[in-house]
Structure 1
Amino acid sequence: MWLGIVFALLSCAAYTAAAVAQRRLAVAVRAPLTDRHRVAELLWHPLWWVSLVFNGGRAGFQVGAVSFAPLTVIQPLGVLVLVFGIPWSARLDGRRVTREEWRGAAFTMVALGVLLAVTVTNGGGGTMDTADSLLVGAGTTAALAVTAWIAGRLPSASWRSYLLSGAAGVAFGVSSATVKTAVAVIAATGAAGLVHPAALATPVIAVFGLFLAQAAYQGMELGAPLGITTFTNPVAASVVGVAFMGESYTGGWAGAAVAVVCAVLAGYGIRLLTVPRDGESAAAVSPLP
């Protein structure tokens, strides 16, 4: 159990480092990533590859964490990325964390922690079959593409960030379900499992999620997009688990009521994380030299 918790903390630290790197990259590449030339600029920037390395480490540590401890212990620890990330990002920006940001982080972390603690599945499910894997993989990819298209046409940087970070969380949550299926299929069938829909969909959805998360930081501070991604990730994974992997929701009506309250509190907390500093927008942060 304690080894699983250690791996979970390392996963949070790696995820935080990746998010901070992506936030710094968003400052360096200021324009929205709907322009193809901006995406090319992104891929040439060292911070993009730094974030990929840390995201890879996060995934590896997360696998180790769930191997030694149950999800009901590991998932609530994910809120620590806000504890690590917000002051870290503020420090790199040469400023102090504002009172609104601390309040927003507190509301969001408490809401997420309670949500993950009381709205759980029984964990007794298995994996997706071929048809379900194809449906989930293709459906998620299409939904993410449509979301990115819509977000690129929103005039508000804040709402664009909300939409993109929510989509990124969905991508990460769904990819955790597809990778579980892919690993099981490959272990059972060998190399033939590499062409299973879940195995093919996992890298597409995961990479899509990385680009969406990166785009969500454009013109925004770290807290709000990171909070939304952290919120939607486990929710998406739970929905896929219940709908396609044979898990059952154990929260009941009481858990559903708590989930609604937590969603409202998390939304309020995320709203506080978007309050401009000293009347200035988050986009006013000076770019890196």
Structure 2
Amino acid sequence: MIVFAAGLALLGSLFFAAGAALQQFEAAGEAGPALRRLMRRPRWLLGGLAIGAGTALHIVALKYGPLTVVQPMGVAGLLFALPCAAALQRRRPQPGELAAAAVIAIGLIGLVLVVPEHSDSPYLGTGEAVALLAGAAAVSLLLLAAARRRTPAVQAVLLATGAGVLYGATATLARVLVDGNRELWFLLAAPLPALVALGLLQRAYAAGRFGPAFAALQVADPLTAVVLGALLLGEPLPTGPASAVTALVAAALTAAGTVALARTTPMSPAHVPTAR
């Protein structure tokens, strides 16, 4: 079931990456892009549909696998974002991008192999859920405030990190809901952090730094979800010296590949062709 969940999450990452590339292409260069303006653009709407499909696949994956497996698969979105961004820019992926992508793939495989099976149903109390949402909101607000008057690259990273934290919180609630929790307010509250994250991402994409923004999102999202899954839901982390070392090496490779990929992806305002 873990392999099945990982496969669904990977497919969801493909849709999410394609949608993110399309939306960034439309939002790049906009000064504080308004969702109302962007929603009039067919390419941005198509990106939204792709992201919606990816999110649905991701939620289904959470039914069959723990957060500690499903969320890290989102990092693979960086691999799929390469050809998507390259196609929009009418270029080929650079060798450095492909090398960084290979490093990320190796890291992801290592992470999946060392995560133990977990059959217990996750449970989240009302107080814990409120604390989760409040904490994610506080972190995203701090990052939003810190992004003011920064360089475009720093703004993109900070805003996308805030979005990643909110998506990680959303995934934690989704993990509880798909496993049978029938709390109505959980169901109503789960989309809220995702909607706020969408707004933050459009601001990040407006800076035109797709590589750093998407890399920050794909690192912050699984990191937040894994930490919350382990702390609040009791989901397993690798145990034993060999597994722990393998997990640390795999995580280091994934992080290093992500950083390298962000640096080598030339998705800046100077490289984004006009979409008007």
Amino-acid identity (%): 27
Q: Are residue 103 (structure 1) and residue 104 (structure 2) matched?
A: no
Which blocks of at least 5 consecutive residues in structure 2 are unaligned? none
- Relative to structure 1, the CA distance from residue 100 to residue 3 in structure 2 (aligned partners, 3 Å threshold; closer, same or farther) is closer
Any conservation in 1 of the 2:62–2:174 contact (CA below 8 Å)? no
Distance 1:159 1:182, change over 3 A: same
Sort the Cα spacing of 1:32 and 1:256 in 2 relative to 1 into closer, same or farther, 3 A. farther
- Which residue is 2:19 aligned to? 18
CA displacement at 1:94 relative to structure 2:
1.0
Structure 1 match to 2:84? 88
Q: Bigger shift: 167-176 or 58-67?
A: 58-67
State the match for 2:166 in structure 1.
171
Q: List alignment gaps of at least 5 residues for structure 1.
A: 187-192
The one-letter code of the counterpart of 1:282 is S
Cα deviation 1:80-103 (Å, max 9, x = unaligned): 422322012111211121122222
Residues 159 and 125 (structure 1 numbering): CA distance in 2 closer, same or farther, change over 3 Å?
Answer: farther
Structure-2 residue corresponding to 1:190 = none
Indicate whether 1:273 and 2:273 are aligned.
Answer: no
Check conservation: 1:122, 1:250, Cα contact below 8 A: no
- Shift of the 72–264 alpha-carbon distance from structure 1 to 2, 3 Å rule, reads closer
* 2: CA distance, partners of 1:18 / 1:79: 15
Partner Cα distance (2:196, 2:113) in 1: 28
Deviation at 1:133, TM superposition (A): 0.7
Identify which range, 228-237 or 264-273, moves more after superposition. 264-273
Q: How far 1:132 sits from its partner (Å)?
A: 0.5
Residue in 2 that maps onto 1:239 = 227
How far did 1:211 drift? 2.1
2:192 to 204, 208, 223: 204
Paired with 1:70 and 1:130, the residues of 2 have a C-alpha distance of: 21
**8 A contact 2:69–2:111 mirrored in 1:** no
1:288 correspondence with 2:270: no
Q: In 2 relative to 1, CA 270–150 (structure 1 residues): closer, same or farther, beyond 3 Å?
A: same
3-state DSSP class of the match of 1:217? helix
The verdict on how the C-alpha distance between 1:56 and 1:117 changes in structure 2, with shifts beyond 3 A counting, is same
Q: Provide the TM-score with structure 2 as the length reference.
A: 0.81
Classify the secondary structure of the residue corresponding to 1:152.
coil
Alpha-carbon contact 1:86-1:223 (below 8 Å) kept: no
Are residues 1:151 and 2:150 paired?
A: no
Match of 2:216 in 1: 228
Residues in 1 aligned to 2:5 and 2:91: alpha-carbon distance in whole angstroms: 34
User: Between Structure 1 and Structure 2, how many residues are aligned?
Assistant: 273
How far 1:48 sits from its partner (Å)?
A: 3.6
SS where residue 283 of structure 1 aligns? coil
**One-letter code of the match for 2:269?**
A
In structure 2, what is the equivalent of residue 45 of structure 1? 41
